[in-house]
Structure 1
Amino acid sequence: MAEIEREAMEVDVVIVGAGPAGLSAAIRLKQLDEDLMVVVLEKGSEVGAHILSGAVLDPSGLDALIPDWKEKGAPLNVPVKKDNFYIFGEGGQMKIPNFLMPPLMNNHGNYIVSMGNVCRWMAEQAEALGVEVYPGMAASELVYDDNGAVKGVVAGEFGKNPDGTPGEGYEPGMELLAKYTIISEGVRGSLAKELIAKNDLAKDSDEPKFGIGMKEIWEVNPENHNEGEVTHSLGWPLGFKNGGGSFLYHIDNNQVYVGYIVDLNYKNPYLSPYQEFQRFKHHPRVKQVLEGGKRVAYGARAVTKGGFQSIPDTAFPGGVIAGCSAGLVNLPRIKGNHNAMHSGRQAAEAAYEAIKAGRSGDTLSEYDAALKSGPVGKDLKRVRNVAPLNARFGPAGGMALGGFDMWFQTLFGGFSLFGTLKHGKNDAQATEKADKHKPIDYPKPDGVLSFDRLTNVSFSNTNHEESQPCHLKLKDPSIPIDVNLPQFAEPAQRYCPAGVYEVVEGDNGPKFQINFQNCVHCKTCDIKDPSQNINWTVPQGGDGPNYPNM
Structure 2
Amino acid sequence: MDIQRDSMEFDVLIVGGGPAGLGAAIRLKQLAAERGGELAVCVIEKGSEIGAHTLSGAVIDPRALTELIPDWKARGAPLDTEVTHDEVMFLSETRAIHTPQWAIPTGLKNHGNYIASLGNVVKWLGQQAEALGVEIYPGFAAAEILYTESGAVRGVATGNMGVGRDGEPTDAFQPGMELLAKYTLFAEGSRGHLGRQLITRYALDRDSDPQSYGIGIKELWEIEPSKHRKGLVVHTAGWPLDNDTYGGSFLYHFGDNKVAVGFVVGLSYQNPWLSPYEEFQRYKTHPAIRPTFEGGKRLSYGARAITAGGIMSLPKTVFPGGALIGCDAGFLNASRIKGSHAAIKTGMLAAEAAFEAVGAGRSADELVAYPQAFRSSWLYDELWQARNFKQWMSKGLVVGTIGVGIEQVVLGGKVPWTLHHKHADHECLRPASAFKPIVYPKPDGKITFDKLSSVFISNTNHEENQPVHLTLKDPSVPVKVNLAIFGGPEQRYCPAGVYEYVKEDDGADRLQINAQNCVHCKTCDIKDPTQNIVWVVPEGGGGPNYPGM
Distance 1:375 1:319 in 2: 23
Distance 2:379 2:542 in 1: 32
Matched, 1:426 2:424: yes
Task: Give unmatched runs, 5+ long, in structure 1.
Answer: none
Distance 2:169 2:208 in 1: 40
Conservation of the 8 A alpha-carbon contact between 1:408 and 1:416: no
Q: Which residue of 2 aligns with 1:89?
A: 92
In the TM superposition, what are the counterparts of 1:392-403 in structure 2 within 5 Å?
392=395, 394-403=396-405
In the TM superposition, what are the counterparts of 1:155-194 in structure 2 within 5 Å?
155=158, 157-194=160-197
Distance 2:4 2:274 in 1: 47
Conservation of the 8 A alpha-carbon contact between 1:503 and 1:511: yes
Conservation of the 8 A alpha-carbon contact between 1:382 and 1:409: no
Matched, 1:533 2:532: yes
The alpha carbon displacement at 1:401 in A equals: 0.5
SS of aligned partner of 1:284: coil
The alpha carbon displacement at 1:166 in A equals: 2.4
1:314 to 314, 317, 329: 317
The alpha carbon displacement at 1:409 in A equals: 4.8
The alpha carbon displacement at 1:169 in A equals: 2.3
Q: Which residue of 2 aligns with 1:218?
A: 221
Q: Which residue of 2 aligns with 1:45?
A: 48
Aligned pair count reads 544
SS of aligned partner of 2:11: strand
Q: Which residue of 1 aligns with 2:243?
A: 240
Q: Which residue of 2 aligns with 1:477?
A: 475
> How far does the alpha carbon of each residue in 1:237-291 deviate from its partner, in whole angstroms, 9 at most, with x for none?
0131211000000011101001000011110000000000000000112111100
Amino acid at match of 1:22: G
Conservation of the 8 A alpha-carbon contact between 1:408 and 1:415: no
Task: Give unmatched runs, 5+ long, in structure 2.
Answer: none
In the TM superposition, what are the counterparts of 1:102-117 in structure 2 within 5 Å?
102-117=105-120
Q: Which runs of 4+ in 1 moved over 3 A?
A: none
Aligned alpha-carbon RMSD (Å): 1.0
Distance 1:308 1:98 in 2: 28
Q: Percent identity?
A: 54
In the TM superposition, what are the counterparts of 1:11-160 in structure 2 within 5 Å?
11-34=10-33, 35-155=38-158, 157-160=160-163
Amino acid at match of 2:470: L
Conservation of the 8 A alpha-carbon contact between 1:207 and 1:423: yes
Matched, 1:406 2:408: yes
In the TM superposition, what are the counterparts of 1:325-340 in structure 2 within 5 Å?
325-340=328-343
TM-score by length of 1: 0.98
Amino acid at match of 1:529: D
Distance 1:165 1:377 in 2: 48
The alpha carbon displacement at 1:397 in A equals: 1.5
Distance 2:347 2:104 in 1: 30
Matched, 1:230 2:206: no
Distance 1:282 1:46 in 2: 35
SS of aligned partner of 2:72: coil
In the TM superposition, what are the counterparts of 1:269-284 in structure 2 within 5 Å?
269-284=272-287
The alpha carbon displacement at 1:105 in A equals: 2.6
1:441 to 439, 442, 446: 439
Matched, 1:462 2:460: yes
The alpha carbon displacement at 1:396 in A equals: 2.2
Distance 2:151 2:465 in 1: 33
Distance 1:113 1:387 in 2: 25
Distance 1:429 1:372 in 2: 31
Amino acid at match of 1:527: I
SS of aligned partner of 1:176: strand
TM-score by length of 2: 0.98
Distance 1:542 1:396 in 2: 44
Q: Which residue of 1 aligns with 2:257?
A: 254
Conservation of the 8 A alpha-carbon contact between 2:103 and 2:409: no
The alpha carbon displacement at 1:371 in A equals: 2.2
SS of aligned partner of 2:465: coil
Amino acid at match of 1:362: D
